Structure 1
Amino acid sequence: MGNPHRIGIVGLGVISAAYLETLTASDAVVVTAVADLDADRARTVAASLPGARALSVADLLASDDVDTVLNLTTPAAHAEIALGAIAQGKQVYGEKPLAANLADGRLILDAAERAGVRVGSAPDTVLGTGIQTARAHIDAGLIGRPVAASAVMVTAGHEFWHPNPDFYYREGGGPLFDMGPYYITALVHLLGPIRSVTGASSRPQDHRVIRTQPRSGEQIPVFVDTHVTGVLEHEGGALSTITMSFDSAATAASPLEVHGTDGSLAVPDPNRFDGQVTLRGSGDDGWRPVHTSAGYEDGSRGIGLLDLIGCGPTDAAGARANGSLALHVLDVMASLQTAATEGRRVSTTTDAGRPALVPLTPRTTWLGAIV
């Protein structure tokens, strides 16, 4: 394989631990630098990674020993960090969403194209065996022609578990922009790109109360809608309904269901890599499990970055968690918010295509080098 691909990480918050677990287990990459607004935190993380340095953000972006910048900042900073990395000739892989708004997302992709570098983006959970197995069975005709799907996420809000949930209630947050990428990306994998949307949204509370230490009891303002529902029209004609909410306790609905002329699939949570796919055919009395047939086995955060690196430096389109897909998902979310605000049908203006199916791939294989 030659020398491992060199990763510099900007942003060392809660999600960084999951990425580091994956990246430090892979022989294909090495973390050479880390940066965070909290310099002490950066130094602590660097000390746990052999050969890694704690740098300022500017120094990391300019560093000669960083090939790809892993952008784990909050959504409001995604565009600034991505554009800074691209300006230094580095490719970027970021947490979702690609940017806090569609205009910034377009700037990132346009800058990357001019610079000849690649952009990738979470979520990569959809590359695990749960979503990919459902995709494989849909493609094989198990449910006939797909005609509809549903995506449902209802939770009380991230203030119940996150120590600093403020950014979830600012631009680029809320249930649509925070959790929507998992569900919409999964729907694109399952049914293809989305050409138009309609929707409605609401904001029942103007503040939230943090329930975790050390800020338990502190009120934070809400700047975004926290309940969003919509209808997504796929290019192939299927209609997906989506509900994303931070305004209630839970739901008993399947996270995803796909319905076809010959049957229906219940699909596991797209915020996870695995889970059982179940089928009910037109003549069946109940649901039955289907065999796992596709996806990265035992997947974990960062697999999308490994997939991007494994495609080689000239194959941006071949990466499954690619920037064009992330921009399309951002377009769908922005269009849905516009449709909800203005009460009209909105057409999307991007088309990422449908990423290639992930063949069933053992963890030992994808940790080494994904091809």
Structure 2
Amino acid sequence: LETAKKYNLLVGGAPDTFLGAGIQTAIHLIENGEIGVPIGASAFMINRGHEHWHPDPAFYYDQGGGPMFDMGPYYLTALVALLGPMKRISGTTRISFPERTILSEPKKGTKIKVATPTHIAGAIDFTSGAIATITTSFDAFGGTSLPPIEVYGSEGTLLVPDPNQFGGPVKIRRKDEKEFAEVPLIFEAPKNNRGIGVADMAKAILYGESFRANGELAYHVLEAMHGFHDSSDSGRHYLMESTCEKPVKLNKI
């Protein structure tokens, strides 16, 4: 980032899934006041580990791996897109199974020594005042009833779709309603839109504009992922040193 600034270059970073119709619809609803003032959120990414299916899963359990560094970018980027930048992190981590056995081919039966936390529970204080909790795990069988992300507001609750995908469904329950209702997406969502972030960056280069999946956002999310681990190791809150702009939502089509 420092080098890019020095030479007047741009840096982009994955993921760009927050630019898909699912999360953009959720952002549209929040910014239109459909759930009132955002109070908090919760996020869940829970599975039993990649050794069940991945052909070479050992790196997921080495330093730099684990569920937060694997899937955290999708969830945290979505939360920043929904609620703005983070200011404080609290985390608790553990290695539930110090050794794993690969169950997939071609290395079935090979043992893996686990060198990174595989269950991380965290809390996030946002600059906006909202508070979120996040759980990422390679240690448990996730319940299908858990939504990927919920956002709680003073006037209602929003169910946000999988941040590893681009589409919906998006559901809302307002304070005077008993059930969640699905909301139409604000623009068409093909099955796979990977490349939106690059297209947005290319447009920024052509027209001298800012773009959304930028290096500052990616760095902010990367720092937060380290922050959960550092907080757990130190037994203290981690205070974020970086910040970023909340990405401007895409225009409704």
Gap change, CA 1:267 and 1:214, over 3 Å in 2: same
Q: Which amino acid aligns with 1:303?
A: I
Instruction: Please state how far the C-alpha of 1:200 moved relative to its aligned partner.
Output: 0.5
Q: Which amino acid aligns with 1:337?
A: H
User: Which residue of the partner structure matches residue 343 of structure 1?
Assistant: 235
Is the radius of gyration larger for structure 1 or structure 2? 1
Q: Secondary structure at the match of 1:132?
A: helix
User: Which residue of the partner structure matches residue 161 of structure 2?
Assistant: 268
Alignment of structure 1 residues 207-286 onto 2, 5 Å = 207-251=99-143, 252-286=145-179
User: Which residue of the partner structure matches residue 161 of structure 1?
Assistant: 53
Gap regions ≥5 residues in structure 2: none
Deviations 1:289-312 (A, max 9, x none): 112125865442232222212221
Gap change, CA 1:279 and 1:302, over 3 Å in 2: same
User: Which residue of the partner structure matches residue 185 of structure 2?
Assistant: 292
Gap regions ≥5 residues in structure 1: 1-108, 362-371
Gap change, CA 1:219 and 1:302, over 3 Å in 2: farther
Question: 1:323 & 1:212 partners in 2: Cα distance?
Answer: 36
Contact 1:201 1:228 in 2 (8 A): yes
Q: Which amino acid aligns with 1:261?
A: S
Contact 2:11 2:215 in 1 (8 A): yes
Question: 1:306 & 1:296 partners in 2: Cα distance?
Answer: 16
Normalised by the length of structure 2, the TM-score is 0.94
Instruction: Please state how far the C-alpha of 1:116 moved relative to its aligned partner.
Output: 2.5
Q: Which amino acid aligns with 1:162?
A: H
Question: 1:193 & 1:242 partners in 2: Cα distance?
Answer: 15
Contact 1:230 1:241 in 2 (8 A): yes
Deviations 1:10-64 (A, max 9, x none): xxxxxxxxxxxxxxxxxxxxxxxxxxxxxxxxxxxxxxxxxxxxxxxxxxxxxxx
Q: Which amino acid aligns with 1:286?
A: E
Question: 2:244 & 2:16 partners in 1: Cα distance?
Answer: 16
Contact 1:128 1:295 in 2 (8 A): no
Contact 1:127 1:296 in 2 (8 A): no
Question: How many residues are paired up?
Answer: 252
Q: Which amino acid aligns with 1:323?
A: G
- Greater RCO, CA 8 A, separation 6+: 2
User: Which residue of the partner structure matches residue 201 of structure 1?
Assistant: 93
Q: Secondary structure at the match of 2:222?
A: helix
User: Which residue of the partner structure matches residue 306 of structure 1?
Assistant: 199
Deviations 1:275-326 (A, max 9, x none): 11101111101111112125865442232222212221684x7221111100
Alignment of structure 1 residues 308-323 onto 2, 5 Å = 308-312=201-205, 315=208, 318-323=210-215
Question: 1:149 & 1:219 partners in 2: Cα distance?
Answer: 37
- When the two chains are superposed, the root-mean-square deviation of aligned CA atoms in Å is 1.6
Q: Secondary structure at the match of 1:197?
A: strand
Q: Secondary structure at the match of 1:357?
A: coil
Q: Which amino acid aligns with 1:223?
A: A
Q: Does 1:140 align with 2:32?
A: yes
Contact 2:83 2:128 in 1 (8 A): yes
Instruction: Please state how far the C-alpha of 1:117 moved relative to its aligned partner.
Output: 2.0
Q: Secondary structure at the match of 1:258?
A: strand
Identity of paired residues, percent? 42
Q: Secondary structure at the match of 1:196?
A: strand
Gap change, CA 1:276 and 1:196, over 3 Å in 2: same
Q: Secondary structure at the match of 1:326?
A: helix
Question: 1:247 & 1:349 partners in 2: Cα distance?
Answer: 30
Question: 2:76 & 2:58 partners in 1: Cα distance?
Answer: 24
Q: Secondary structure at the match of 2:132?
A: strand
Q: Which amino acid aligns with 2:162?
A: D
Deviations 1:218-249 (A, max 9, x none): 11221110000111000010000000000011
Question: 2:212 & 2:188 partners in 1: Cα distance?
Answer: 12
Q: Does 1:325 align with 2:217?
A: yes
Deviations 1:166-224 (A, max 9, x none): 22112221111111111000000000000001121110111222222111111122111
Instruction: Please state how far the C-alpha of 1:359 moved relative to its aligned partner.
Output: 2.4
